Each structure stands twice: as C-alpha cells, then as structure tokens.
Amino acid sequence: MNGPAAAVDDIIDVLSIIFILVGALMSLAATIGLLRFPDLMSRMHAATKPQVLGLLLLLAAVGLQQRDWAVLPVLLVAWIFQLLTVPVSAHMVGRAGYRTKHLRQDMLSVDELDDVVAAAHARRSVGGRTGHTLTRTPTKPETEAPVPAG
C-alpha cells in the first residue's frame, strides 16, 4: 500500500509507540516513587499523579491502534473511572495515614488538618460525638418465655 494511506498508518503507528513508551515510563516513575519516597504522603502522590497520565497515554495508544470509533466509549469510561476513583482513594489513604501518624511532620509545609483533628480529639475527650463514630446503645436482654412442656 503506497500513498497517503500508508503515510497516515505510519504516523499512527509512530504516535502509538510514543504513547506506549511515555505511558510505560510514567507507570515506571510511579513504581519507583512508591519504592523510593520517604513517607506516606509522598508515596501517595507518586502512586496517583503519573499513573493517571500513564493510563491515559496507554489508552490513547490502544485507541489509535484499533482505528475504530466503537472502542472509544470503552476507553473513555476506563479513563473517567480512574479520574474519579484515584483522587478519592488517595484522599482516604492520606487521611487515614494522617490520623494514625504515618507521616513525617517535617515534610509538611502546611498542616491544614491539625486544627480539625485537635478539635475532634477535644470533643471526644469530653464525651461528645465527632460524627465519625457510630455508637450503639446497649439493649436489655430479652427474657425468654418458658416453653410449655408437651
């Protein structure tokens, strides 16, 4: 096949190769960051930021290689799902790590949660509810009625 169609195919192949390589490098950077960074917050950042961009590039390469519009909605759903879930999970891991003291205070430039956590501990120490814990009121044990003999 010669002419403009072959040139377009070659350009699409080169773009796909570039997207795959850069996407794989972004995922590799996320892995190295998870292994090398000193604390939870840095590792969490390394796990989320390059991973989402790397996945976008890999999905774009798949879309380019398929050369079919029918695959585009599936790829978009996969990427949007990552965009929605990665920040939420990173936030939950970061908050849990903060509350359990799995972070280095000297690495934080601004600690916005310090006042919130201190207020929650103060309310908890005076017996107030913080809104994060569920309490169950004890119930009296039911007395069983005697079973008639028979």
The Cα–Cα gap between 132 and 146 comes to 42
Q: Is 35 helix (H, G, I), strand (E, B) or coil?
A: helix
Q: Is the pTM above the cut of 0.85?
A: no
Residue 5's pLDDT band, with cuts at 50, 70 and 90, is confident
Per-residue pLDDT tens digits for 90-141: 888 888 887 787 777 777 777 777 788 788 878 888 765 545 554 555 555 5
The Cα–Cα gap between 127 and 144 comes to 35
What is the pLDDT at residue 1? 61
The Cα–Cα gap between 43 and 104 comes to 12
Q: What DSSP letter does each residue of 87-139 carry, written as one string?
A: HHHHHHHHHHHHHTT-S-GGG-S--TTHHHHHHHHHHHHTT---SSS------
Sequence-distant (6+) residues with CB within 8 A of 123 are: 129, 130
